[in-house]
Amino acid sequence: MRTLLLFLVTFSLSAFALETEIKSTTDHLLENDAVMAVRHTYPPGTESGMHGHDYPYRVVYVLEGGTAKIVPADSSKPTRTITFKEGMTLYVPAATHNVINIGDTQITLLEIELKP
């Protein structure tokens, strides 16, 4: 009985840990025929997963800064480490990549893509 109780408590705690796993989020704020605006939030240790940006004109505004590793899908291109500072604005061309928060602070980016 004691073993069964210990198993059930351990299983319950494991299930709770899986349910509360911290993940990055993407909130779609606006999309129409001309523009797409999204907010990306990366808690420490999270990543976007490999994804692509199809539109050639993209601006990123940093709401909350931190350090991220940008891993391109094309392995012949170098992985970059970027320190985002609050208020920083970047022009970023279309790309396929993974964004990984390697710092200890949450990173929040506002991304605006203009559609052709």
Domain residue ranges of the chain, discontinuous segments joined by +: 23-114
CA dist 76 and 36 (Å) reads 29
CATH number corresponding to 23-114: 2.60.120.10
Q: How far is CA 116 from the centre of its chain?
A: 25
**Is the overall model pTM greater than 0.85, yes or no?**
no
**Paired tokens of 25:** 């989020």
pLDDT of residue 4: 39
Reported as a single tens digit per residue, the pLDDT across 45-64 is 999 999 999 888 999 999 99
Reported as a single tens digit per residue, the pLDDT across 69-85 is 999 999 999 999 999 99
